[in-house]
Amino acid sequence: MRHLKADVDYAREKGSLVFASSGNDGDKTNLPGYPASFPGVVGVGAVDQSGKVAKFSTCGSQVALAAPGVEIPARCKSGQGLCKSGGTSPATALASASAALIWSKHPTWTNN
């Protein structure tokens, strides 16, 4: 984990905005995950269609944002068509893509 922290620190020192999913064991252990729990990382949880925290989404002080993460269209495991998927990973993809669009409109903003 020491190397992971060093990698996150390096990316942040270079001006990157680092997003990470909080994890999918909120209905089990709900332990903080890494790198989402590192200082300066935007931890992302998942919400359902009603905007409530998804039952599987790890939650806690490490979660800075939440995005849709239930019944997200994804490629089927068979490789054919679209299937419904879910988790904090697709929620993180949506949140980071939104941040990228905002940052592109405001290029002088920093990762802070």
Question: Are residues 37 and 31 in contact, defined by beta-carbon separation less than 8 angstroms?
Answer: no
What does the pLDDT read at residue 69?
A: 98
Regions of the chain where pLDDT drops below 70: none
What does the pLDDT read at residue 7?
A: 97
Residues in the chain: 112
Residue 74's φ and ψ, nearest 5 degrees, are -150, 160
| DSSP of 54-71 | PTT---STTEEEEEE-SS
SS3 content of the chain, % helix, strand, coil (to 5): 25, 20, 50
- Model confidence pLDDT, tens digit, residues 47-72: 999 999 999 999 999 999 999 999 99
Which domains does the chain show, CATH number per domain?
2-105 (3.40.50.200)
CA distance 67 to 69: 6
What does the pLDDT read at residue 79?
A: 87
What does the pLDDT read at residue 82?
A: 95
Q: In this structure, what token pair is assigned to residue 46?
A: 């998942």
Contacts of 1 (CB under 8 A, 6+ apart): 34
What does the pLDDT read at residue 47?
A: 98
